[in-house]
Amino acid sequence: MAPQTGGRDLPPPQPISHWRNLYWWIAIAGGAALVVWGAAFFPERRRDAPRAAAKQEREAFLAIGFSRVSERDPVAIPADAFRREIAELDDAGFHAVGPADVEAFVHDGAPLPARPIVLTFDEARRETLDIADAALRDHDFRGVVFVQVEPLEQGNLQYVSWHRLTQLVASGRWEVGLSACWPNGVEKALDLITLSDSIRHGRELLEERSGAHVTAVDCVRPLDELPATDKAWARVARAASFTVGFLKAPPGANYRTDPALGLRRVRVTRDWLDRKLVPVLEASLPRREPYQDDFSRPEPSPAWMIDHGKMDVQSSSLRIAAAPDEDGAMVFLGGTERWRDAEATVEVASPPEGQFWLYLRRGGQASHVRLGISEGRVLLQRSTAGGGTRQFGSMPLPDGKVELTLRVVGSRAIAKVDGRILGDRPLAVPEELATGGVAIAVWDEDSAKASARVLKFAARPMFERAAIVPASPAESEWRALREQAPELTTVSPRYFRWENGAGSTAPRDTSLEIFAHYQHWRLLPAVRIAGALADPERRALAAEVSRWAADPAFHGINLILDGGEANEWTAWLERVRGSLAQDGKRLAITWVGARGPRNSTTSDFFLPASGETGLEIASAEPEGAGRGP
Amino acid sequence: MRVPARALLLALLISIGCRDARPPVERPRLAAWVVDWNDALLRDALGVVRDHHEVLSQIDLFRFRLTTEGDAVATRPLTALHRRLVDTARAYGLSVVATVVNDTVGGDGKIVELKDAALVETILRDDTRRVRLARRLAAVARDEGLDGIDLDFEGVTGSHQDRFLDFVSELAGALHADGKRLIVTVAPPPVGTAGKPPPTSTDALADLAALVDEVRVMAYHHHHPTSAPGPSAPVEWLDAVVDRSRAAMPAEKLSIALYAGGWEWRNGRREQLTSSEAVSLAKNLEAMLEWSENADAVHFHVDGAKGGIEVWYEDACSLVRKIERVRRAGIRTVALWHLGKQDPELFSALRAGRCERPTTRP
């Protein structure tokens, strides 16, 4: 049967255009190839979108340093391992930042992307930089190379040429810094002058040769050598126009308030890579969530960092013990170095060998609040650099395992033993113990005998809470205040009010002030500001606030402000805060209704709404604020 | 013919090479402060720069003071005369720096206090104000096209030295980033009785030298307004100041400032004099001028009530000899406080490299 063509139901036959089809197929194939290969041609563009959406970090950043990376050198970090670690850093959400970002962060408070890390490289070895550059390009990371100028000036072939360095800088992936250090035994005068001249000339030469603006200097000496030389080193580096400086240091984060010319750079060595870089770095990030550990894994969590001594997991417990020839051991909970207000609970298999201690706000050898076990008793102690160690409570050690809880919030500490409060009143914590890490330690005068087994551990950051109360509380408000007492750090009686350009004062309640003193609360009388405030009026208010705060019974003033107007107040508040600080007084701000500026967390409280009556609880944790009973 | 030509070329190259290998001979440097308190002083400075630029290397415009808020403020608005002076100095290859002194001015522009150490200490204690002032001075140097800043904060006590060093390092860093220089002018190290302002310890001199380009030690006013009459810089004292300062830092970092004028003690009052005023006074009083070998200075005394009148001053000869003395100690830079005070013959004498001893009567 012949095909039916040209019937009434069918369209007339059309000639087939084979060439046009071919063009279409070529175009489609070309487009597909562009999509597939384009990413390879333009790798830098791949990750722009997700990185732009990253969260911001305002508190801390990490810096790590690689010495040599090589395909062949047996003592260098193997190239494959390096590439793997860089990929894992990327997968873990770290964002590489450079000295310019760090400078803006440290000096001006500019935020960094989430999980910021400075990837640095010692010297400027040719092979290291070739391998590193390829890896950084693949992951849209940036690096910093700290250059020793002499080998490059001498044309040493192990190092990149100045031309190659200029190319790397021009790629936008690299920034350069100067590698320089103080010599052994530098004390004063002529050594420092020589050092100062040499680093300044080094910077000028590096800028001239590389065409880059050089602001970072790196010294391979350990951070703990710095104290003897710190001010002199920082000053000569600053005078040579360096704005950020790194020193070799054990794992830990750099916080915004750290000295900009004494930042820690954790050096990554070959043996480090066996332990995996990312978990160690993650443990160094500021810890903002509660931590719990029942030691059910065969190895200690990377969150635990050894200061000295040794630790391991045995029978679902963490055993810390002195190493041979040492008289103790100490391990830190990583990321807690700048914790301010916190609670930690530890369950210890009793009794330990020697002394056992749980530390909060540990800032150094002689700066801490600690709860521990010694010679059959549980002790609560406080130690400051100038005041020595003082004991504030003790009780017999219960039999069997014991649970110790230590809470330090604001200017007071509370200790519990198996849930029972130790002592009859909170321990006063002086301002000099404002921040510090969480640690556990053992010690015994017979070396190498000290040890303890920790069965459970929990720690959590806390937030200050202020009770805003009437100038003369009624009986019900007194009752509520007593109930809230263990949770409070500050009490703010409504003594003062600013309205129509003038201040007014309510009668004071002496019994409230005595109670606040007994509880080691800060007494920060509230100043309520009614209505809008014109500029000239602010000057008068500032003077009045200073006058009110001057009363020796007060630790400062708590200004109650509308959070919605936070930006209007910022500059004025900073001036008032600075003025009061010169007199040793504190200015706290309670933002009502909305979040205020979050760049000054130490003295800010938040209150969702204020009825200006009764007892109200304001919290430093915005979400936790609420109206009291 | 080709061989001698090559030999000649080789000889030429060797001679060029040898010449280049010699270290460059650096000229001694003489800096002078220029005060702009009135146009006459500026015009006088302009004349000195124009006529004697060969012996000068730098002028230091005494140009900035502090407000009570701790900000830097110019002594007076920049005039055409200022610009002419700066342009002339530059045309002759002189460096131009601005001095900032801790004299405080109020809101009306009038001086509230001279050498206000308390204000400086307040600024140093306040991190924000301290950093802001450092940035402001660096911006001034940048905006006015200066070669650097001369920081003359006097009277800061030892307890604030640490913060002062912080400030100096911040200012130095900001200036060095722009390729500018920082000079810090300080009181001399302790030698004999304390002068005014309080002395700078040798440790402090060393600390400063590590941060700045030049530490300028004010080697004058050993006898000062509140002391008994005497020379501003007796040579034994000057030598000791130079030696102690020199021990704290390399010679190339150190400069010595000398006073170019004189002091008159009269009836319990003390006043500064220019060298010319001292000569005129001696003429009027028909006083006999005496040359003190120990002081390398000129003086005269007229009997009268309350101790009469006594004048000590530097003339061209005394300053030429002192400058030479300082340079023999290895110090390359000498500074003069200030143009207008000096003997009119000073720069001619410096250019000639010699001076005539003064006659006993003007």
Using the Cα atoms of residue B201, residue B205, residue B206 and residue B207 in order, give the sign of their dihedral: positive
Q: pLDDT band for A624, please (50, 70, 90 cuts).
A: very low
Residue type, B176: H
B166 touches chain A (CB under 8 A): yes
Q: Which range, B7-16, B224-233, B335-344, is most confident?
A: B335-344
Mean pLDDT of B230-248: 94
Q: pLDDT band for B195, please (50, 70, 90 cuts).
A: low
CB contact under 8 A, B173 and A200: no
* Out of A189, A231, A243, closest to residue B206 by CB: A189
Instruction: Give A234→chain B minimum CA distance, Å.
Output: 9
Neighbouring residues of A279: CB distance < 8 A, sequence distance ≥ 6: A302
Q: What is the pLDDT of residue A222?
A: 72
What the block records as the tokens of A272 is 């480090």
B165 touches chain A (CB under 8 A): yes
Q: Which residue of B has its CA nearest to A196?
A: B210
Q: Which residue of A has its CA nearest to B125?
A: A582
* Out of A190, A195, A241, closest to residue B176 by CB: A241
Tell me the pLDDT tens digit for each residue of A360-415.
Answer: 999 877 899 999 999 999 999 999 988 788 898 899 999 999 999 999 998 899 99
Distance separating alpha carbons of residues B100 and A399, to the nearest angstrom: 72
Mean of all residue pLDDT scores within chain A = 86
Give which of A351, A433, A348 is closest to A390, Cα–Cα: A433
CB contact under 8 A, A239 and B166: no
CB contact under 8 A, B173 and A238: yes
Mean pLDDT of B129-147: 94
CB contact under 8 A, A193 and B203: no
Mean pLDDT of B189-210: 82
Q: Which residue of B has its CA nearest to A192?
A: B210
Q: Is A435 helix (H, G, I), strand (E, B) or coil?
A: coil
* Residue A292 CA: distances (Å) to CA of A341, B253, B358: 17, 59, 90
- Residue B299 preceded by cis peptide, ω within 30: no
Q: What is the pLDDT of residue A43?
A: 39
Mean pLDDT of B118-134: 91
- Residue A307 scores a pLDDT above 50: yes
Q: pLDDT band for A11, please (50, 70, 90 cuts).
A: low
Q: Which letter, b or e, does each residue of A172-193 get, where b requires 16 or more Cβ atoms within 10 Å of its Cβ?
A: ebbbbbbbbbbeeebeebbbbb
Enumerate the H helices of A109-148 as residue ranges.
126-138
| Chain B residues touching A189 at Cβ < 8 A | 203, 206, 209-210, 248-249
Tell me the pLDDT tens digit for each residue of B280-333.
Answer: 999 999 999 998 988 899 999 998 877 789 999 999 999 999 999 999 999 999
Residue A204 per-residue DSSP state? H
B151 touches chain A (CB under 8 A): no
Q: Which of A50-54, A421-425, B112-116 has the lowest mean pLDDT?
A: A50-54
Tell me the pLDDT tens digit for each residue of B73-86.
Answer: 999 988 999 999 99
Scanning A178-197 for CB atoms below 8 A from B yields 188-190, 192-193, 195-196
Q: What is the pLDDT of residue A579?
A: 86
* Out of B166, B174, B210, closest to residue A196 by CB: B210
Reported as half-sphere exposure (CB side, CA atoms, 13 A), residue A400 has a value of: 2
Q: pLDDT band for B94, please (50, 70, 90 cuts).
A: very high
Is residue A493 within 8 A of residue A612, CB to CB? The reply is no
| Chain B residues touching A182 at Cβ < 8 A | none
- Residue A44 scores a pLDDT above 80: no
- Residue A352 scores a pLDDT above 60: yes
Burial of B91 (0-12, 13-18, 19+ CB in 10 A): exposed
* Out of B162, B170, B203, closest to residue A238 by CB: B170
Give which of A213, A210, A219, A46 is closest to A129, Cα–Cα: A210
Q: What is the pLDDT of residue B10?
A: 56
- Residue A9 scores a pLDDT above 80: no
B39 touches chain A (CB under 8 A): no
Q: What is the pLDDT of residue A529?
A: 86
Cα Rg, chain B, nearest whole Å: 22
Cα Rg, chain A, nearest whole Å: 31
* Residue B133 CA: distances (Å) to CA of A69, A339, A520, B69, B72: 45, 34, 40, 10, 7
Neighbouring residues of A492: CB distance < 8 A, sequence distance ≥ 6: A466, A467, A468, A469, A524, A525, A526, A558, A588, A590
Instruction: Find which of A229, A241, A242, A257 to mutate to test the B interface (most B CBs within 10 Å of its CB).
Output: A241
Tell me the pLDDT tens digit for each residue of B15-61.
Answer: 444 444 444 545 579 999 999 989 999 999 999 999 999 999 999 99
CB contact under 8 A, B209 and A193: yes
Instruction: Give A174→chain B minimum CA distance, Å.
Output: 21
Burial of A24 (0-12, 13-18, 19+ CB in 10 A): exposed
CB contact under 8 A, A196 and B128: no
Q: What is the pLDDT of residue A227?
A: 59
Enumerate the H helices of A4-98 as residue ranges.
18-41, 48-52, 79-91
Reported as half-sphere exposure (CB side, CA atoms, 13 A), residue B16 has a value of: 6
Q: Which residue of B has its CA nearest to A203?
A: B177
Instruction: Find the helix or strand (DSSP H, E) in which A362 lies.
Output: strand A355-364
CB contact under 8 A, A235 and B210: yes
Enumerate the H helices of chain B as residue ranges.
2-21, 39-52, 80-91, 117-125, 127-143, 161-177, 202-209, 235-248, 275-285, 316-328, 346-352
Is residue A149 within 8 A of residue A174, CB to CB? The reply is no
Give which of A566, A519, A62 is closest to A281, Cα–Cα: A62
Place of tokens 């002078």: B32
| Chain B residues touching A236 at Cβ < 8 A | 169, 210-211
Distance separating alpha carbons of residues B110 and B67, to the nearest angstrom: 10
Q: What is the ipTM for the molecules in this complex?
A: 0.83
A199 touches chain B (CB under 8 A): no
Q: What is the pLDDT of residue A3?
A: 41
Give which of A175, A187, A183 is closest to A199, Cα–Cα: A183
* Residue B17 CA: distances (Å) to CA of A341, B21, B26: 71, 6, 19
Helix (H), strand (E) counts: chain A: 14, 39
B212 touches chain A (CB under 8 A): yes
CB contact under 8 A, B210 and A242: no
Total residues belonging to chain A: 629
Percent of chain B past pLDDT 70, that is, above it, reads: 90
B69 touches chain A (CB under 8 A): no
- Residue A299 scores a pLDDT above 60: yes
**Category of B229 on φ-ψ map: left (φ > 0), alpha (ψ -120 to 50) or beta:** beta
- Residue A185 scores a pLDDT above 60: no
CB pairs under 8 A between A and B: 64
- Residue A48 scores a pLDDT above 50: no
Mean pLDDT of B237-248: 94
Distance separating alpha carbons of residues B155 and A52, to the nearest angstrom: 53
Q: What is the pLDDT of residue B142?
A: 94
Scanning B189-208 for CB atoms below 8 A from A yields 203, 206-207
What the block records as the tokens of B116 is 């206000």
Tell me the pLDDT tens digit for each residue of A526-572.
Answer: 999 877 777 778 889 999 999 999 999 999 999 998 766 666 777 78
B168 touches chain A (CB under 8 A): yes
Q: Which of A516-525, B58-67, B76-85, B152-161 has the lowest mean pLDDT?
A: B152-161
Q: What is the pLDDT of residue B27?
A: 57
pTM: 0.80
CB contact under 8 A, B206 and A193: yes
| Chain B residues touching A195 at Cβ < 8 A | 210
Q: What is the pLDDT of residue A602?
A: 47
Q: What is the pLDDT of residue B358?
A: 56
What the block records as the tokens of A493 is 């009686």
CB contact under 8 A, A232 and B172: no
Q: What is the pLDDT of residue A109?
A: 87
Q: Which letter, b or e, does each residue of B203-241 get, where b requires 16 or more Cβ atoms within 10 Å of its Cβ?
A: ebbbbbbbbbbbbbbbbbbbbeeebebbbbbbbebbbbb
Long-range contacts of B176-179 (CB under 8 A, 24+ apart): B176/A200, B176/A239, B176/A240, B176/A241, B177/A241, B177/B138, B178/B138, B178/B141, B178/B142
- DSSP conformation letters of A165-195: HHHHHHTTSEEEEEE--PPTT--SHHHHHHH
Q: What is the pLDDT of residue A113?
A: 96
Is residue B207 within 8 A of residue B246, CB to CB? The reply is no
Mean pLDDT of A345-359: 94
Q: pLDDT band for A156, please (50, 70, 90 cuts).
A: very high
- Residue A595 scores a pLDDT above 90: no
Instruction: Give B172→chain A minimum CA distance, Å.
Output: 5
CB contact under 8 A, A241 and B174: yes
